[in-house]
Structure formats: C-alpha cells, structure tokens
Amino acid sequence: MTVLLLIAILSVVAAVALERLTVATRMTRNIVSADQGRAYLLTAERMAATRIADLLALRPDRTTLEGGWMGSEQILAVPGGTVAAQIVDRGNCFNLNSLVRSAAGGTSQTEETFTARPEAIAQFAGLMRLLGVDATLALQVATSAADWIDSDSVPGNGGAEDDYYSSFDPPYRTANTLMADPSELLMVNAVTPDLYQRIRPWICTLPDAEMSPINVNTLLPGQAVLLAMLAPDTLGLDQARQVLAQRPATGYGSLLAFWNLPPMARAKAGMPDVAVEQVQQKSRWFEVALRAELGGDEVEEAVLFDANDGQVRLVRRKWGEGDG
C-alpha cells in the first residue's frame, strides 16, 4: 500500500510539473511571437509611411481613391507568418476634440486652455440628428462633450461639469483636456451604450482641436452623412450620396468645381465659414491598421500619421485592436 501511495503521489507531482512546463513553454512562445510580431509591425510602419508619401506625391494638388488604396488589405509574407496593412483616410470623421478651440492661457508654455466651439457643437448635434438621434438629446450630448473637454467648470446649456459627475457612485471628474480615444464619450452625460454604438463609426479623436478636414475626393458614398453634417438643414443624405457617387474617378479637380454643383451651391449659402473651410481635396490624417500573424499568434497595432505639408509623421501608436 505504501508503494502504491508513493507511486500515486509521484504521478500527481509529475503531471503537475508537466502541466506547468507546458504552460511555461506556451507563455515563452507567446512572448517570443509577440516580440517578433511587434518588430515586424514597426518595420511595416515605415513601409506604410513611404506608401502614404508616394500616394501624396502622385497628385500634389489632391488625394483621390486612385490605386484602390483606401481600406484594401495588403498582405506581406514574412518568416514564420504574414503582416497585413490597411490604410484609411482618418480625417473623414467628426473630430470630438474640435468641440473646443485652443485659447491663450495656462501656467506654463506646455499647457493649453480650451473653450467651447459653438459651431462644432452644432455640427456634432446635426450629425447625430442625421443618424436618428432626438434633436434635444443630440444637443445635450454635444454640449456635455464640449464641457468634458473644455478647461472651465461652467456647464453649457444642457451640459454637465464636475458638480454633476461628483454625484455618481463612484464619483469622477471631467477630463478638461482633449480626448485620447472616442470611448471616453461613454463617460459623458446622456451618452448611453446604444447611442455610442450608433455614432461610433463617424467620430474620431484627432490629436488637435481643429475641425476635421473632410476630403470630398476620398469620402465614400456610404459616408455621405459626414458631408451632410456640414449643412444638416439644407443638404439631405440622398443629395450628399449623389454628389459622392457621381464624383469623377480622378476626383474633383478643384474645390470650385465641387462648390459649383447645384446641391453644394445651395448648401454652401447656409454654411458657417468654418464648415466651408473643412471641405478639402487633400488628405492630412491617415490611419494604418497593422496585423502580424505568426504561428497562430496575432499582434495588432493601429498607427496615426500626420501628412501635413507633405511630411508624413507618426503621431500616435496603439497596440491591440485600434480605432481612433
């Protein structure tokens, strides 16, 4: 009996040791794969930057969909697996950080003071109305989102500041700075998960407080709501889709040609100047979704490039599934 008991104990010990060895081996393999995958993706970043620079050089006066680069996944074979890259025009969205404007202030040169931008609040509310959100709720969300970012503690009409959020359990405070990710909107007054999911495809958080540069040469018909939001009371979704669907293959040669289209000429008459200036024919912001697959393991990354003045610079990197 003693021998049998010892054998049983040794069998259990061996099984546990073998299991731990297997787990340790798997963890080591995952770490090695992750490190290798990240190394591949860092190289892919540089390749993507070169691809974007070539795209911009193709037509210095405009960025178009020529070449089928938008949203198409490019796959590159690497030792042990593959790397995939997908480029999109990230400027075609509503920039939540444009709900404020940067103003002089702060106690140091690195600090910024942000004040609410009424034109962007109205535009964000208009976007939500076009997406089927009640007008009163849309304005409340837009105002509260601006309050979340701005530097003061005075709520806008229907908005919310620290006094409101301090009553929650647990309590929290407004950020008083630019949003780093669209998911921050879930912390804002009147934003429900259902509302967030409805508007999520159309919003972004670019790293500045400027209105999004909407490129009418890369905007897809399915993104017509981003064109209609510039004049939600005078430009219907169907008209916006038609304008984009009838766009020449080489894009609109000039903004003058775009504004001369009858639907856009009528819409422009009622647009604020800041909305007119949003309409561009060159892209500035590009997001690249990267994925490395190595032996069954995956590493994902999303990077944001700023191509202002023709210089392609990486301004944000996010590991894991990204959308910004």
- The DSSP code sequence of 60-118 is TT----TTS-BT-EEEEEETTEEEEEEEEETTSSEEGGGGEEEES--SSTT--EEEE-H
Q: What share of the chain is helix, strand, coil (3-state, %, to 5)?
A: 45, 20, 35
Q: Average pLDDT, whole number, for the chain?
A: 89
Strands 94-95 and 203-204: parallel
Q: Is the pLDDT of residue 94 over 90?
A: yes
**Per-residue pLDDT tens for 27-57?**
445 455 678 888 999 999 999 999 999 999 9
- The pTM for the full model equals 0.86
Q: Is the pLDDT of residue 22 over 90?
A: no
Q: Is 131 helix (H, G, I), strand (E, B) or coil?
A: coil
Domain boundaries 93-210, CATH class: mainly alpha
**Per-residue pLDDT tens for 266-304?**
999 989 999 999 999 999 999 999 999 988 889 999 999
Distance CA 106, CA 112 (A): 6
Whether residue 264 contacts residue 243, with contact meaning beta carbons closer than 8 Å, is answered with yes
Domain ranges in the chain?
2-91+284-319, 93-210
pLDDT for res 310: 79
- The CATH number of the domain covering residues in 2-91+284-319: 3.30.1300.30
Residue with tokens 């989102």: 145
User: Could you tell me the pLDDT band of residue 25, with boundaries at 50, 70 and 90?
Assistant: very low
**Per-residue pLDDT tens for 130-177?**
999 999 999 999 999 999 999 999 999 999 999 999 999 999 999 999
